[in-house]
A = this chain, B = another copy of it.
């Protein structure tokens, strides 16, 4: 074993020990730790910003893109956001220990499922230091220990945050090893982490598609992930044009750089000639570039022709692919062929087609008459989220506290044996 592998293996073993302590900690102890973390962040603002300065200066020297430097920078507002997030998580109900309905077998055994922590969670992410704090808070509240591996360009910031979090954990009587930042810049640390299947129960990668594909291909540990969000809105025959326009505009324009923004608009043939010109004018005013199928081009002759590459594209920008479809059948088939199982919406007045769209579209969130932008833990009422899963195992859609837990069966008997 290399020294990096040894370091990571030792951290993972420490995390496994710490996870046992956190798993049986009372809710009030975990909440005290979260509030103490929030207070420590405020108290240590200067030290955190000094370390962050080092990262920012190095990033500028290395010529990283401005957007990346921006995400890396910790200022007073970032710190206040971290503390507020921790307070919010402290206020959320504790999922651990709750039982679902119980049932009794003919032999008298009483059976229930009890919600329990997952154990040790590894998070692999890119440059934002606030993920360090947000992820630590959610994992801890759900009774888990966490290993955090941020981008190497944020290492000083993350180490400073880890020190602050460690002090807060100890103040609450919890082991500081319940939240550990991997202190190694080399990529080999990620590989080593992905081999710790005896000590780590779940890996959550957050970042670009390339990072996530690397993690999935290398990990012996289960991975919760989403590659991309290619979200569709289908404007059905007979849809309320004002509602369709409002939903589509919001889905594309309100925040185009995020995974739940609309990337392709599907319009029923019978609505296209009326709906598209008004919609296109509104999009044009907002600076949205439209890329249309041949039928769209006949209605909107000035726009860019869509190529095959546009249909599965996640633009994350003010660009929208537009396709006219013959009906529900074609809309659902297009989504199945090009979508990413993320978020799809229909705008309709028809009861049967609304039911069918909800039933047949295979996405983590399917909406009727609402914007795709609602695929978000907080918007759906789950509270803070750790990410969105587009793979179906364990979690499909936004992942909140509950998705950081699992259930075990508990069985109460009076001496039953199997016959």
Contacts and interface: CB of A to CB of B under 8 A. Distances in A.
A373 B417 contact: yes
A408 B363 contact: yes
A91 to B, nearest CB: 17
Contact of A247 (B97, B366, B417): B417
A336 interface: yes
A102 to B, nearest CB: 11
How many monomers of this protein are in the complex?
2
A365 B411 contact: yes
B222 A412 contact: no
A15 B99 CA distance: 37
Contacts of A354: 412
A415 to B, nearest CB: 4
Greatest chain B CB density within 10 A among A364, A407, A415 is at A415
Contacts of A20: 336, 362
Contact of A358 (B114, B119, B217): B114
Given A23-B362, A358-B114, A393-B118, A374 B216 contact: no
Interface in A61-97: 97
Interface stretch (A103-111, A133-141, A276-284): A103-111
Interface in A322-376: 336, 354, 358-360, 362-371, 373-375
Task: Rank and list the top 3 A-B pairs by shortest CB-CB distance, nearest first.
Answer: A370-B413, A250-B417, A373-B418
26 contacts: A105-B380, A111-B380, A114-B359, A201-B392, A201-B393, A202-B392, A217-B220, A240-B415, A243-B414, A247-B415, A247-B417, A254-B418, A363-B408, A364-B409, A365-B408, A365-B409, A366-B410, A366-B411, A369-B412, A369-B414, A370-B411, A371-B417, A373-B418, A393-B394, A397-B408, A398-B409
